[in-house]
Amino acid sequence: GAGVSQTPSNKVTEKGKYVELRCDPISGHTALYWYRQSLGQGPEFLIYFQGTGAADDSGLPNDRFFAVRPEGSVSTLKIQRTERGDSAVYLCASSLNPGTGEKLFFGSGTQLSVL
Protein backbone atom coordinates (compact mmCIF):
# COMPACT_ATOMS: atom_id res chain seq x y z
CA GLY A 1 0.00 0.00 0.00
CA ALA A 2 0.92 3.64 -0.22
CA GLY A 3 1.30 4.14 3.51
CA VAL A 4 1.00 2.44 6.88
CA SER A 5 -2.58 1.33 7.44
CA GLN A 6 -4.11 0.76 10.87
CA THR A 7 -7.50 -0.74 11.61
CA PRO A 8 -9.82 -0.03 13.20
CA SER A 9 -9.40 3.74 13.47
CA ASN A 10 -11.55 3.72 16.60
CA LYS A 11 -12.29 0.94 19.04
CA VAL A 12 -14.59 1.20 22.04
CA THR A 13 -14.65 -1.73 24.42
CA GLU A 14 -15.66 -2.60 27.94
CA LYS A 15 -13.29 -3.20 30.81
CA GLY A 16 -12.16 -6.82 30.87
CA LYS A 17 -12.66 -7.49 27.16
CA TYR A 18 -10.06 -8.62 24.64
CA VAL A 19 -9.06 -6.41 21.67
CA GLU A 20 -6.91 -6.79 18.59
CA LEU A 21 -5.39 -3.87 16.69
CA ARG A 22 -4.03 -4.40 13.20
CA CYS A 23 -1.16 -2.74 11.35
CA ASP A 24 -0.32 -3.14 7.68
CA PRO A 25 3.12 -1.58 7.04
CA ILE A 26 4.52 -0.19 3.82
CA SER A 27 5.37 -3.04 1.46
CA GLY A 28 9.00 -4.08 1.79
CA HIS A 29 9.59 -2.46 5.17
CA THR A 30 11.31 -4.96 7.43
CA ALA A 31 11.08 -3.02 10.68
CA LEU A 32 7.71 -2.46 12.40
CA TYR A 33 7.05 -0.58 15.62
CA TRP A 34 4.14 -0.18 18.01
CA TYR A 35 3.80 2.95 20.14
CA ARG A 36 1.16 4.18 22.56
CA GLN A 37 0.33 7.86 22.83
CA SER A 38 -1.68 9.42 25.62
CA LEU A 39 -3.10 12.92 25.42
CA GLY A 40 -0.43 15.57 25.75
CA GLN A 41 2.44 13.10 25.61
CA GLY A 42 4.80 11.78 22.99
CA PRO A 43 4.67 8.28 21.56
CA GLU A 44 5.74 5.68 24.11
CA PHE A 45 7.64 2.67 22.73
CA LEU A 46 5.96 -0.72 23.15
CA ILE A 47 7.60 -3.27 20.82
CA TYR A 48 9.61 -3.47 17.62
CA PHE A 49 9.84 -6.27 15.05
CA GLN A 50 12.61 -6.97 12.62
CA GLY A 51 11.03 -9.38 10.16
CA THR A 52 8.91 -11.91 12.03
CA GLY A 53 10.69 -11.73 15.36
CA ALA A 54 10.33 -9.22 18.17
CA ALA A 55 13.71 -7.51 18.39
CA ASP A 56 12.77 -5.50 21.48
CA ASP A 57 9.60 -5.88 23.55
CA SER A 58 10.86 -3.99 26.58
CA GLY A 59 8.09 -1.39 26.32
CA LEU A 60 5.16 -3.76 26.75
CA PRO A 61 3.68 -2.69 30.09
CA ASN A 62 2.66 -6.15 31.32
CA ASP A 63 1.72 -9.63 30.17
CA ARG A 64 -1.76 -8.51 29.07
CA PHE A 65 -0.10 -7.01 25.99
CA PHE A 66 1.20 -9.19 23.17
CA ALA A 67 2.06 -8.60 19.52
CA VAL A 68 2.75 -10.86 16.57
CA ARG A 69 3.99 -10.52 13.02
CA PRO A 70 3.81 -14.09 11.70
CA GLU A 71 4.73 -13.48 8.06
CA GLY A 72 6.94 -10.44 8.48
CA SER A 73 4.34 -8.03 7.14
CA VAL A 74 1.02 -7.40 8.94
CA SER A 75 1.22 -7.14 12.72
CA THR A 76 -1.47 -7.49 15.38
CA LEU A 77 -1.29 -5.97 18.85
CA LYS A 78 -3.41 -7.95 21.29
CA ILE A 79 -4.61 -6.68 24.66
CA GLN A 80 -6.26 -9.05 27.11
CA ARG A 81 -8.51 -8.10 30.03
CA THR A 82 -8.50 -4.44 29.02
CA GLU A 83 -8.38 -1.77 31.72
CA ARG A 84 -9.49 1.86 31.61
CA GLY A 85 -5.84 2.88 31.80
CA ASP A 86 -5.22 1.19 28.44
CA SER A 87 -7.22 3.95 26.72
CA ALA A 88 -4.89 5.77 24.33
CA VAL A 89 -3.98 6.10 20.67
CA TYR A 90 -1.99 3.10 19.50
CA LEU A 91 0.40 4.01 16.71
CA CYS A 92 2.14 1.71 14.28
CA ALA A 93 5.20 2.74 12.29
CA SER A 94 7.46 1.03 9.80
CA SER A 95 10.86 1.69 8.27
CA LEU A 96 12.75 0.14 5.39
CA ASN A 97 15.25 -1.32 7.83
CA PRO A 98 16.19 -0.71 11.47
CA GLY A 99 19.22 1.42 10.64
CA THR A 100 19.92 4.34 12.94
CA GLY A 101 19.30 6.99 10.31
CA GLU A 102 16.12 5.50 8.88
CA LYS A 103 12.97 7.54 9.34
CA LEU A 104 9.71 6.10 10.59
CA PHE A 105 6.50 6.17 8.57
CA PHE A 106 3.50 6.34 10.88
CA GLY A 107 -0.06 5.16 10.48
CA SER A 108 -2.98 7.30 11.61
CA GLY A 109 -3.39 5.27 14.78
CA THR A 110 -6.17 3.40 16.54
CA GLN A 111 -8.00 5.32 19.25
CA LEU A 112 -8.80 2.75 21.94
CA SER A 113 -11.39 3.66 24.55
CA VAL A 114 -12.00 1.28 27.44
CA LEU A 115 -15.23 2.07 29.29
Partner 1 sequence: GNSVTQMEGPVTLSEEAFLTINCTYTATGYPSLFWYVQYPGEGLQLLLKATKADDKGSNKGFEATYRKETTSFHLEKGSVQVSDSAVYFCALRDNAGKSTFGDGTTLTVKP
Residue ranges binding partner 1 (CB under 8 A)? 31, 33, 35, 40-45, 48, 50, 55-56, 91, 93, 95, 98-104, 106-109
Q: Closest approach of Cβ 83 to partner 1, in Å? A: 23
The answer to whether the beta carbons of residues 24 and 4 sit under 8 Å apart is yes
For partner 1, give the closer residue by CB, 70 or 101: 101
Distance (Å, rounded) from C-alpha 99 to C-alpha 29? Answer: 12
Residue 56 makes CB contacts below 8 A (sequence gap 6+) with: 47, 48
Separation between Cα atoms, residue 11 and residue 8, nearest integer Å: 6
CB of 75 to partner 1, least distance (A): 15
**Nearest residue (CB) to partner 1, 23 versus 82:** 23
